[in-house]
Amino acid sequence: TIRGARNAWQSLRLFSLVALVAALMGVAAWAFLTCLDAVTGFREAHLICFALLPAVGVFTAWLYRRYGKDAARGNNLVIDCTVSGRHIPPVMAPFTFVCSVATHLAGGSAGREGTAVQIGGTIADAVSRLFKLDEYDHQDLLMAGISAAFGGVFGTPLAGAFFGMEMCFVGKLQYRAGVYCLLASFVGDAVTTALGAPRESYDIGMVPQLVPSSLAFAVLAAVVFGIAARMFSGAIRVVKRFYAAHITNYVVAALVGAFVVLGTYVVFGLYDYGGLSSWLVEAGFTGTATPVDALLKLAMTALTLGAGFQGGEVTPIFGIGASLGGWLGAALGYSLGVTPAFGAALGMVGVFGSALNVPMTTILLGVDLFGGLAAPYFVIVSFVSYLVAGHRGVYPAQRIVTPKW
């Protein structure tokens, strides 16, 4: 076998390095979540923070252009370095940490997993470099770093384990890294939780019996989630391309991008759609959010991330998915026997999985967040929305190993 030469000592060494990376990532995730919590609270109390958007935009653009090498490629660079064995610039972790916190302070609409994955990847890469790991160990360690990041930042150890195995590819799960990713995700989550990081929790409520009407709801909803995911990743791409094509000076581009975000907030009074917008997920679960909420969150996130602000995609996606699903549940619930909370839960996992092309992670995320009773629905929603969303998700660097159709 390919790694036949590797002996037990090397495996044990890799296990220890995985645990080390995961523990470090756990601390980093705790620090990041705590900072986010602080700046979000501060911004919600001081609306003036939004005025920082242009400064943060320009600072981010300048920092990455001047010192970041290709770190601005974010998770795409992590994917490339994991698959190819190249190294991640060490500045990636501190840059994305600082700039993501700044994004949230200034009310940019963004998430957390991008930041976490880049920190996890950077830590893993630094350790890999230090111990001169070979190509295979390097890949496994980086995947484990991704798992620790996801498990730690979202408090979802099973989903985290699969995310590391799945994120770099479309249509492939890297089984080989399985035990390392599993260990990393559990350790990352345990450390982050033990340090007292703030955690959200949601209640799926009553899970409907598997009957034709509830199955029909799941399939219909999954199609909607897949389309939303497609629109989400497409919108970010369009905004990014537009600025790149029409403005040659990068400082001007960042400034224009930031002013567009700021202007949209001010003109339409959309401040609630800035930052993480955790309220949106809650509104989805009570069935009080609408597709307009989903669309506005999608637009603000595309404008923010498309303009080059740091942050992630997943938390906005949770808000979009929960609003859409909760609305579907409220609209069709009476006739199909489902609740808004159930629809919102499916929406969270469905839009997530199809936007990121990670169908197995999707299923386990559902189990992590809402327990296994609804597992059949998570499986159905995952597979159907995965197909509907097409091949191009939020990470263009993903290697298409098995085309979807």
Q: Indicate which single residue of 2, 45, 245, 267 sits in contact with a copy of itself (rule: CB under 8 A).
A: 2
DSSP lists the bridge partners of residue 170 as: 400
Decide if residue 26 touches a copy of itself (CB under 8 A).
no
Per-residue x/- marks for a copy of itself, 306-345, CB under 8 A?
Answer: ----------------------------------------
The span of 25-33, 82-90, 195-203, 364-372 binding a copy of itself (CB under 8 A) equals 364-372
Q: How far apart are CA 325 and CA 208, in angstroms?
A: 15
Q: How far apart are CA 325 and CA 46, in angstroms?
A: 31
- Report which of 364, 363, 350 is spatially closest to residue 320, judged by C-alpha positions: 350
Measured from the Cβ of residue 134, the count of other Cβ atoms closer than 10 Å reads: 13
> What Rg, from alpha-carbon coordinates, does the chain have?
20
Decide if residue 168 touches a copy of itself (CB under 8 A).
no
- Give the three-class secondary structure for 255: helix
Joined together, the tokens standing for residue 274 give 């800035």
Tell me, what amino acid is at 290? T
Decide if residue 263 touches a copy of itself (CB under 8 A).
no
- Report which of 234, 219, 385, 225 is spatially closest to residue 291, judged by C-alpha positions: 225
Least gap, CB of 95 to a copy of itself (angstroms): 34
Decide if residue 267 touches a copy of itself (CB under 8 A).
no
The smaller minimum CB distance to a copy of itself, of residues 6 and 240, is found at 6
The smaller minimum CB distance to a copy of itself, of residues 226 and 329, is found at 226
Q: Indicate which single residue of 92, 101, 324, 364 sits in contact with a copy of itself (rule: CB under 8 A).
A: 364
Measured from the Cβ of residue 97, the count of other Cβ atoms closer than 10 Å reads: 20
Q: Indicate which single residue of 94, 198, 371, 396 sits in contact with a copy of itself (rule: CB under 8 A).
A: 371
Decide if residue 6 touches a copy of itself (CB under 8 A).
yes
Decide if residue 175 touches a copy of itself (CB under 8 A).
yes
Q: Indicate which single residue of 99, 384, 389, 394 sits in contact with a copy of itself (rule: CB under 8 A).
A: 384
Q: Indicate which single residue of 44, 70, 376, 399 sits in contact with a copy of itself (rule: CB under 8 A).
A: 376
Decide if residue 143 touches a copy of itself (CB under 8 A).
no
DSSP characters for 46-84? -GGGGGGHHHHHHHHHHHHHHH-TTGGGTHHHHHHHHHH
Report the site for a copy of itself in 144-163 (rule: CB under 8 A): 157-158, 161
Q: Indicate which single residue of 13, 65, 176, 240 sits in contact with a copy of itself (rule: CB under 8 A).
A: 176
Q: Number of residues in contact with a copy of itself, rule: CB under 8 A?
A: 38
DSSP characters for 296-355? HHHHHHHHHHHTT---BSHHHHHHHHHHHHHHHHHHHHHHHT--HHHHHHHHHHHHHHHH
Applying CB under 8 A, the residues found at the interface with a copy of itself are 1-4, 6, 11, 157-158, 161, 171-176, 178-179, 182, 359-360, 364, 367, 371-373, 375-376, 379-380, 383-384, 386-387, 391, 402-405
